Structure 1
Amino acid sequence: MTKSELKVFLDEKVLQYNNPEFLETDPIQIPHLFTDKEDIEISAFLTATIAWGNRKSIINNSHKLMERMGQSPYDFVLNHTNDHLENLNGFVHRTFNEIDLTYFIRSLKNIYANHNGLEGIFTTHQDKDSLQPTISQFKKIFFELPHELRTTKHVSDPIKGSAAKRINMFLRWMVRDPSTQVDFGIWQNIDTSKLSCPLDVHSGNVARKLGLLKRKQNDAKALAELDRNLRKLDPIDPVKYDFALFGLGVFEKF
């Protein structure tokens, strides 16, 4: 397959999957429950944080988390008391438990009170060409409060070699054009050209079969390689191909 043929093929797959039907089986349906910007951001960030493993389990547990927060995530983050935090007791998704969740809520409160919110951090600290260094800076700020060491594993750090799949997915949700009613486009001061594909087993395997990725591990170096090749296909919105790679891998077993 030539480069031009590959682009046509992938562009068709983007159109096939980047539409409202995608929401039916994807965790992005959770932030679509909300209309206020901060509710969307916080619900999206928490959902993305636990977005590994079985997709039905991710969605079910994300719904349970929103219920524990009274279906008002921003209000809960900003105005919670210790009594409110007891509502989180017993929450668990794989290795993410109530200890981690409680710290996440406290950290988010600090971020909205002192760092101009989630968007403020990523906008202020964005790099010229990529958001991967920004994610690393975000992690430093996120853990500036006293915390247990175990919780730090739930926020990836590209500088330490991670592909940061879940945060890159969250950033796609926040930044990409909302015209297809999938992503939200509520962060308008970050260019889509800086976004990176949420690299996981499915997208990585498909990318290798299509010649977009040679590195065997799904790590930061593999993400950089995939970024370079996807930006050749579309320098303005390279991460749109996440829909193609993910759809081919998950739905078509490509």
Structure 2
Amino acid sequence: MNRKELKVLLDEKADLYNRPDFIQTDPIQIVHRFSKQQDIEIIGLLMATIAWGNRRSIINNGERLVQIMENSPHDFLLNTTEEDWQKIEFVHRTFNREDLLFFFSALKQHYSKESSLETMFLSVTNTPSIKEHIFHFRTTLLSYPHLQRTEKHISNPMSGSAAKRLNMFLRWMVRKDDRGIDFGIWNSIPQSSLRIPLDVHTGNVARKLGILSRKQNDWKALDEIHATLDSFDPKDPSRYDFALFGLGAFENY
């Protein structure tokens, strides 16, 4: 199909899947239980971090996280101690109790000084790219004491990773529209700079559509896809994530 036909298709599918019904089948449903900004940030980051594998398993383990944090993530982190956490048991694939307790400890220390997680993403370079925002977050988070094993759960775009889960988290926090799926509670990172959460399925759909030629699903592939999506909607290119994901997950494209 030509570019005009491709844009029509992606606009149609983005409109179809960027609707509240999407929430019912997606891990973001766990995040939508909360209205307090800090709760949304905390459970959003944790849900994005465990968002790989079977979707039902992700959602079930999200339920477990909410239970562990007593349905109030921010208050739980600020008002419990590391001694209180010793009986916690959690595992999602290779993300285990030790990884979770690191996130709890780092976030507790962050929120004791800051009112929002947004500041951890704000690179101090003059013209920060979304890659730099993610790298700044990773560097800052890993400045807290941690096990080496935990680093694999926090993607590094500077080493080529497409950082699928962190790009998804940023879409949730930054992107604003009237559809009610993304939260749009952060204002310092421009929506136009967002990248889609690229995984195997989204990459395969992008290749079938002719907007990705690169074989690897890495950051260079993400930039290649973004060039087309940005030309279709420079103000909100990441909305096409709904189209690419929907075509793969719901239409077996």
Q: TM-score range, shorter-chain basis?
A: over 0.9
In the superposition, relative to structure 1, how do residues 10 and 127 fare at CA in structure 2: closer, same or farther (>3 Å)? farther
In the superposition, relative to structure 1, how do residues 38 and 24 fare at CA in structure 2: closer, same or farther (>3 Å)? same
Q: Deviations over 1:41-90 (max 9, x none)?
A: 111000000000000000000111110110111111222213331352x2
- 1:175 paired residue number: 174
User: For 1:91-130, what aligned pairs fall within 5 Å after superposition?
Assistant: 91-114=90-113, 117-125=116-124, 128=127, 130=129
TM-score when scaled to structure 2?
0.96
- 1:63 paired residue number: 63
TM-score when scaled to structure 1?
0.95
- 1:83 paired residue number: 83
**SS of match in other structure, 1:82:** coil
Structure 1: which 5+ runs fail to align?
none
- 2:183 paired residue number: 184
In 2, Cα distance between the equivalents of 1:127 and 1:16?
38
**SS of match in other structure, 2:32:** helix
Q: Deviations over 1:163-211 (max 9, x none)?
A: 0000000000011114101000101222110100100011100000111
- 1:134 paired residue number: 133
Structure 2: which 5+ runs fail to align?
none
- 1:230 paired residue number: 229
In the superposition, relative to structure 1, how do residues 116 and 140 fare at CA in structure 2: closer, same or farther (>3 Å)? farther
- 1:250 paired residue number: 249
The structure in which a higher percent of residues are helix is: 1
Deviates more, 1:55-64 or 1:188-197: 188-197
- 1:46 paired residue number: 46
Higher relative contact order (CA 8 A, sep 6+): 2
Q: Would you say how many aligned residue pairs link Structure 1 and Structure 2? A: 253
**SS of match in other structure, 1:180:** coil
Kept in 1: contact 2:38–2:115 (CA 8 A): no
**SS of match in other structure, 1:33:** coil
- 1:153 paired residue number: 152
In 1, Cα distance between the equivalents of 2:3 and 2:45?
35
